[in-house]
A = this chain, B = another copy of it.
């Protein structure tokens, strides 16, 4: 058994059995080991952003890390933006980054770089293996580090000689970290403040946005009249018919301020106080009212579900009946024009039970988010770190994690171009993803932002920076070029037919919705 096999067997022993990969020469022994060791599913991405974004989506849905296999510093560098997003999503990921053999590192060969320097801004844990005999144990530690609550990025650097030298051990799994328990004092304090009748917002992030946490939050809301909310960009939320409905904070700062006006108490469950996404001249970054008290029920590393259940009990709400979203009739004029509103209504209408919706529709989607709150129960995944282009990769990984569930990606056309290579992996692995491209032929959000930052100009140079019509992207051709079936639609009726059909079939599809 060489180091690569020891690594692979140890990852599998620790429960990591999917590897999103874009390997190169320094990872060849790891690749060869895939044939000698059963139990690790390798999934090739043709660009490293696919690899890391897919690992993010996998982690959000599987609740455990996938491994990535990346080629030295530059291979890691290509995956960094989606690792940034994954870090903001608190997704557990174990990066395996091949490096030059330890004997080769002194020579400054072309691919030499400050690999650990690249890894540092996104990794909570970094280790460089020094011997084939320790890589198994290093892998077990990496998996454990990635599972530090609520989820971290662990980067294990594997010099080529630690993969090809002989090893003798498979490391057993280390204990899986648990979340800390929120102190009783925090729960008592929040309960006391809420009992005083303050107008309260409970802002929730993390695992507590899944069904169990939401039920507790719903009981508290029902009993006390508190509003329950989530961030604009949460990693994962369970919603739809039969689920407790939350308010989502709006994107634009002034809308958040309006939403929070009058709030006297902000209770945080794994969340940070809301701040604006960007700064704007003469607009506030801090969006909580100045006279609002802020109380932390649970920090990120604490168990938010248990904290909400304890709070419900402390408030005598444990037997309250939480209000659940009901199916609502959705008005759609199929003779009307195809726009962002029509798209979301049609998506809501046909969304199958337990679908996974990965949203990067940005300027097109924000306003119509609520429509899907009354669709079939589904998981909603958001971009989290603001680095656009992630969701086609995230949805690929989500589909790998949940092969029996339909994935729907709502994707702006500008952001779709960043990591379009995701479609090839979807085709290769027959991932059941339908990608809706909102083809508005521009970086529409920036046209808005230009005005909002007070940088208005009517000139051509600026306008050309947001314009994708010269030439116009042909998403049917691009998808077909990567082996994915695609259709372009220009009317609500045609989109309805295409989306309904996609929901009934399996496998990847792209619908270019011209709006």
Contacts and interface: CB of A to CB of B under 8 A. Distances in A.
Chain A, interface size category, equals 35 or more
B424 A471 contact: yes
A174 to B, nearest CB: 27
Nearest to A26: B278
B164 A453 contact: yes
Interface stretch (A343-351, A353-361, A402-410, A414-422): A414-422
Contacts of A275: 104, 107-109
B84 A457 contact: no
Contacts of A104: 275-276, 278-279, 285
Interface string A250-269: 00000000000000000000
Given A74-B81, A481-B481, A110 B385 contact: yes
Interface in A13-68: 21, 23-26, 28-29, 31-32, 34-36, 42, 44, 46-47, 49
Given A272-B108, A481-B474, A160 B278 contact: yes
Given A103-B279, A387-B74, A110 B88 contact: yes
A161 interface: yes
A34 B74 contact: no
A177 interface: no
A114 interface: yes
A421 B417 contact: yes
A113 interface: yes
B276 A455 contact: no
A101 interface: yes
> Max chain B CB contacts within 10 Å: which of A25, A47, A164, A475?
A25
Nearest to A451: B28
A128 interface: no
A470 interface: yes
Copies in the complex: 2
A25 B449 contact: yes
Contacts of A88: 110
A450 B84 contact: no
A427 interface: yes
Nearest to A390: B74
A178 interface: no
A1 to B, nearest CB: 13
B118 A121 contact: yes
A459 to B, nearest CB: 3
Contacts of A75: 81, 387
A43 to B, nearest CB: 10
B117 A74 contact: no
Contacts of A46: 414, 417-418, 468
Given A80-B118, A109-B277, 12 more contacts: A24-B449, A25-B453, A31-B462, A32-B456, A78-B81, A104-B275, A108-B275, A118-B121, A420-B421, A427-B471, A473-B481, A481-B481
Interface of A: 4, 21, 23-26, 28-29, 31-32, 34-36, 42, 44, 46-47, 49, 72-75, 77-78, 80-81, 84-85, 88, 100-101, 103-104, 107-111, 113-114, 117-118, 120-122, 160-161, 164, 233, 272, 275-279, 281, 285-286, 384-387, 389, 414, 417-418, 420-421, 424, 427-428, 445-446, 449-450, 453-462, 464-465, 468, 470-478, 480-483
